[in-house]
Chain A
Amino acid sequence: MSDKLIHVQNVSHSFGNTTVLENVNLTISRGEFIAIVGPSGCGKTTLLNLISGYENPSSGSISRNGKLRMVYQQDGLLPWLTVIENVGLGIRHLRDAEEKNRQLKDAIELIGLEGFEQHYPHQLSGGMRQRVELARALTGESDILLMDEPFSALDYLTRIKMRNELVRLLKERPRTVILVTHDIEEAAQLADRIIPLTTRPATILTEKRIELEKPRSLTDPIVTEAVHDLLISLSPGSLPATEKTGIKAEEN
């Protein structure tokens, strides 16, 4: 098997008369962390749904090698299951009870939620819930993690904390990651390769590589420069801007 886990070829997609994606080509190798950024409604989530196989493209082809796991924006945890039951979804077919318990214990330790195993999602904070989501996605066999705006429902400080948490988890459990986000900072801090989508019909114009060890500091010049570049390519004329991310880029 090749190291090309995902291969998106000439993919276009439309809903009715609205073309959302036009001629998208993308290849993702094992171990890569890809971020797809763009304004909301530009088709990022559609692209992710196509990659996951949840939807089929109107034209073009997509090939996947390896097992996928999805991390949702919020409330992807099943509220009627406890933390441990949610985490166990990925290994629920495992026969060996001892092995199962060991893996569950590892997962809880990994996210530092010991003592919360029997809690229900509604009894946890937003950050804890998202950690459980990550633990669930990382438990059991999988190669590719698809993340759809995983931290966008969290407050700013928690979001920053969760980025570091994600980096730490991926060091423990390496996965190929495709992250969809509208948060350019997040992309710059986490991704090896950032793919900005244009407004509808979305297509890939450029891509930006960031070669910097993780965890990366939010204020690292390479990161801030990447934010700056991305802002310009996504929304020319937005600098100097009043937008949140724009101001931060200026401050640095």
Chain B
Amino acid sequence: MLYKYLLKWLFGAIAFLLILALLRFQPWQHLNSSLWGETSQTRIESLDVGFLPVTCHLTCPVTDYASRTSIDFRFDSQRYTDFPTMVESIRSGRLEATFMIVPLAMKLREQGVPVRIVYLGHRDGSTVMVRPDLNINNLQDLRGKRFAIPSKYSNQYLVIRRLMSEQGVNPEEINFVELPPPDMPGALSARAIDAYFVGEPFAARAELSGTGKILYHAKDIWPNFISCALVVHENLINRRPEVVADLVRGIAESGEWAENNREEAARIAAPYFRQDEAVVRHVLTRPPDRVSFQMLTPTDEELQRIHDIALESGILDKPVSMQALVDRSFIPEVIRPRTFNN
């Protein structure tokens, strides 16, 4: 009796799992393509490229979108929700190309993970927001206030450190707290913090809802500020240099195109981000130079400057050589805007 019932349940459960597996992996799609005469030889190769759903990484989904129509190679943008998971994926060798903040790439290199910066993702694109009810016009007004940053390893922290020394504010005079970027607009409107510095669109959200006021754009503090770079594992460079070159060209052309087709770029990228298209559009267009997708070749001096601040603020324990870190050999000489054949 008991076993009869349990067997029934067992079969029911196995059927349930099988149906779920079928729905999940949809094997008929592969079947379909093989029925249509496509063999494994013509199967499209692909490379996963990691990114976070921030406006700074816009060129990654755009490149994904552009390569969908490619007949021989696809770049699949893999959305991550945080940098630690991304780092673990790189360490395990499952992710070989990704967008990443520059100090983190240096930290990885310092720890012996052979990654190289081959290109930049964007320039500028971060914003300092303050409470509109406080009369704050510079960093001196922020003395004794609570200032949120994404993390001590973030480039925003490095930038604000540099600006503080320019304005003569000591590091201990501002009360820094680490906060996940999505919580920053809410914390500001609840007055739990007085200011924050973060990549878009987490600043634009507060701006649009009127609960935050822009104090500085990154470009005002540090023109052509480098935040994120395209980081590639040396394994991929050694194994498939042509794929890396393709990727860099794709990012460059996507950036060139997005620079001048901002509304269209917002429309393409919004579904990749699960964000309001209106917010993405706002970030890209008001003002247009809030974030820039041009001049993406990093110079040694620029990176060295970030490196030195990172070393000084204790993010890096020992110096990292720029020769080992940067590889500019994949950057195309001429960059044409990407054309879309859809």
Q: Please determine if A and B sit in direct contact within the complex, based on CB atoms under 8 angstroms apart.
A: yes
B324, chain A: closest CB distance, angstroms = 70
The size bracket of the interface on A is under 10
A77, chain B: closest CB distance, angstroms = 15
A1, chain B: closest CB distance, angstroms = 39
Count residues of B near A (Cβ-Cβ below 8 Å): 2
Is B2 part of the contact surface with A, judged by Cβ < 8 Å? yes
**List of A residues within 8 angstroms of B1 by Cβ:** 80-82, 85
**List of B residues within 8 angstroms of A81 by Cβ:** 1
**List of A residues within 8 angstroms of B2 by Cβ:** 80
B7, chain A: closest CB distance, angstroms = 16
Tell me the interface secondary structure of chain A in the complex.
loop
CA distance A82 to B2 in the complex (A): 11
B173, chain A: closest CB distance, angstroms = 73
A87, chain B: closest CB distance, angstroms = 15
CA distance A186 to B293 in the complex (A): 99
Nearest CB in chain B to that of A85: its residue: B1
A78, chain B: closest CB distance, angstroms = 11
CA distance A85 to B1 in the complex (A): 10
B124, chain A: closest CB distance, angstroms = 71
Nearest CB in chain A to that of B2: its residue: A80
B9, chain A: closest CB distance, angstroms = 16
Q: Mark A65-101, 1 if CB is under 8 A from B, else 0.
A: 0000000000000001110010000000000000000
B314, chain A: closest CB distance, angstroms = 66
A190, chain B: closest CB distance, angstroms = 36
B4, chain A: closest CB distance, angstroms = 13
CA distance A38 to B17 in the complex (A): 61
**List of B residues within 8 angstroms of A80 by Cβ:** 1-2
CA distance A14 to B2 in the complex (A): 41
B301, chain A: closest CB distance, angstroms = 79
A15, chain B: closest CB distance, angstroms = 36
CA distance A85 to B2 in the complex (A): 12
Q: Mark B1-44, 1 if CB is under 8 A from A, else 0.
A: 11000000000000000000000000000000000000000000
**List of B residues within 8 angstroms of A82 by Cβ:** 1
**List of B residues within 8 angstroms of A85 by Cβ:** 1
B275, chain A: closest CB distance, angstroms = 56
Nearest CB in chain B to that of A80: its residue: B2
Q: Mark A172-206, 1 if CB is under 8 A from B, else 0.
A: 00000000000000000000000000000000000
A-B complex: 5 closest residue pairs judged by Cβ atoms? A80-B2, A85-B1, A82-B1, A81-B1, A80-B1
Sample 5 A-B pairs with CB under 8 A, ordered by A number: A80-B1, A80-B2, A81-B1, A82-B1, A85-B1
